[in-house]
């Protein structure tokens, strides 16, 4: 299962990407998370339905200091996961 997420709210500058990375890595998901220029966070995650369900609960809850107003979820084709490696934060230095 592969899903794309756009998370809206106070999710930049509060450690939200690191939170998503930790949750996804602990679950063994593949994919990435990054900030958008619009002030949101987006992510792509690939794994089993159970792993994805657990991640989605975490995304709605958010990290300490964040405020999640909305999570947009889009299913992607399984083929989108072919090039995904271990979960990473894109754009982090």
The per-residue pLDDT string of the chain (93 residues; one tens digit each, 9 = 90 and over) reads 999 999 999 999 999 999 999 999 999 999 999 999 999 999 999 999 999 999 999 999 999 999 999 999 999 999 999 999 999 999 865
Set 30, 35, 64, 70: catalytic member:
35
**Cβ neighbours for 29, distance < 8 A, ≥ 6 positions apart:** 45, 46, 47, 51, 52, 55, 87
Structural domain boundaries of the chain? 2-78
Strands 30-35 and 88-89, sheet pairing = parallel
Known catalytic membership, residue 3: no
Domain 2-78 has CATH 3.30.70.100: yes
Known catalytic membership, residue 67: no
């Amino acid at each position: 299962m592969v899903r794309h997420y756009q998370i809206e709210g106070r999710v930049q500058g509060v450690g939200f990407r690191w939170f998503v990375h930790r949750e996804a890595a602990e679950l063994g998901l593949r994919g990435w998370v990054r900030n958008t220029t619009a002030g949101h966070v987006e992510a792509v995650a690939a794994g089993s339905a159970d792993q994805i369900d657990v991640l989605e609960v975490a995304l709605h809850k958010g990290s300490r200091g964040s405020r999640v107003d909305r999570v947009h979820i889009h299913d992607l084709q399984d083929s989108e996961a072919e090039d995904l490696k271990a979960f990473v934060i894109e754009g982090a230095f």
